[in-house]
Amino acid sequence: MEQAWIMGLAVVLDVLIGDPLWLPHPVRWMGFFINKLEIFLRRNVNNLRLAGVLLWFMLVGGTLFLSYAVLAVTFKIHWILGSAVNVVMIFYALAIKSLTAEGRIIRGHLQSGNLAGAGKRLQTVVSRDCSREDQRGIIRGAIETLTENLSDGIIAPLLFAALGGGPWALAYKAVNTLDSMVGYKNEKYKDFGWFSARADDAVNLIPARLTGILIVLCSVFFFHHPFKAVRAWLRDSQKGPSPNGGIPIVTFAGARDMALGGDCYAPDGSVINIPVVGGSGRPPDLKDMGWANVYIHGAVFLFFCVYILVKNF
């Protein structure tokens, strides 16, 4: 079956089903094995930096090997079964419905005046302390989360699926999960998680920039501000700690001609200094939250347009 059809079916499946808790998910299995391997490696490898490298190759390599093995067996049984398994693998790597649903839920709480409910919901997907945020801070945090995760939750898995099918998409999720679990710069993980953090930066180098391009293209089709989007990208995308995460955030802010960023609070109560980025000084509003979800779906559509054009060039 053509890879474009396989990826398209995976997108449809994700939009329809999402990630319900009752459905077994490989990312949860990855998290389980990361915890177990971390305990084992810390006990048996004296050099924590080497232990972190071993963890990365064991999980990512294991994910690739197992995924390819399952595909080989199912394709040997029948090509339809193999294609269906490939679809499911890519589906598991995507987060379209779960991401946009979070945006709608938080926006719904704010529209009904339930600031506390919106803050609690946002708290489940961000590390900052949302209990101190006003409505503007919650909107800002939600938009930043939606746009940043457009890259690593949707566009990056699609790009790796286009390159290597379901096994590559799941391997990317392994890289991403490792970074989210051990890729910290604190005392516990600065050595053990260094390789996972740097590998995640390297792997997301192209997907983040592709996401920026797709956001700019969306701003053209929606008659927003493509030139301000590009200007924000060039001027602001490297002001944060990540070489990749800021690109979709600032590009969307420029496209909507609004400002994102600003100080917020860490869970321990300390102030996190975040530079103000994007377009004009206009603060984000509920309409911008709605547009964030529109841009997510628009970026997925444009990704397929670009993919089909490149494939048939």
Half-sphere exposure (CA, 13 Å, Cβ side) for 7? 25
Looking at residue 48, its pLDDT comes to 95
Q: How far apart are the first and last CA of the chain?
A: 20
pLDDT at 268: 73
For the cut 80, the answer to whether the pLDDT of residue 299 exceeds it is yes
Q: What average pLDDT does the segment 105-123 reach? A: 94
Least trusted range by pLDDT, from 70-74, 107-111, 218-222, 241-245 = 241-245
pTM > 0.75: yes or no: yes
* Mean pLDDT, rounded, for 31-39: 96
More confident residue, 287 or 266: 287
DSSP secondary structure string for all residues of 34-90: HHHHHHHHHHH-S-HHHHHHHHHHHHHHHHHHHHHHHHHHHHHH-HHHHHHHHHHHH
- Rounded mean pLDDT, 57-75: 97
Asked whether residue 1 carries a pLDDT value surpassing 70, the answer given is no
Mean pLDDT of the residues in the chain: 93
State pLDDT tens for residues 183-225: 988 889 999 999 999 999 999 999 999 999 999 999 999 999 9
Averaged over 145-173, what is the pLDDT?
97
Q: What is the pLDDT of residue 263?
A: 81
For 136-145, 156-165, 268-277, which range has the lowest pLDDT when averaged over its residues? 268-277
CB contact set of 25 (below 8 Å; sequence gap of 6+): 19, 92
Is the model more confident about 121 or about 269? Answer: 121
Contact 247, 237 (CB under 8 A): yes
More confident position, 25 or 295: 295
Strand partners, 259: 278
Domain coordinates in residue numbering, the chain = 3-311
pLDDT tens digits for 260-286?
A: 988 887 777 777 788 889 888 799 999
Q: What percent of the chain has pLDDT over 70?
A: 100
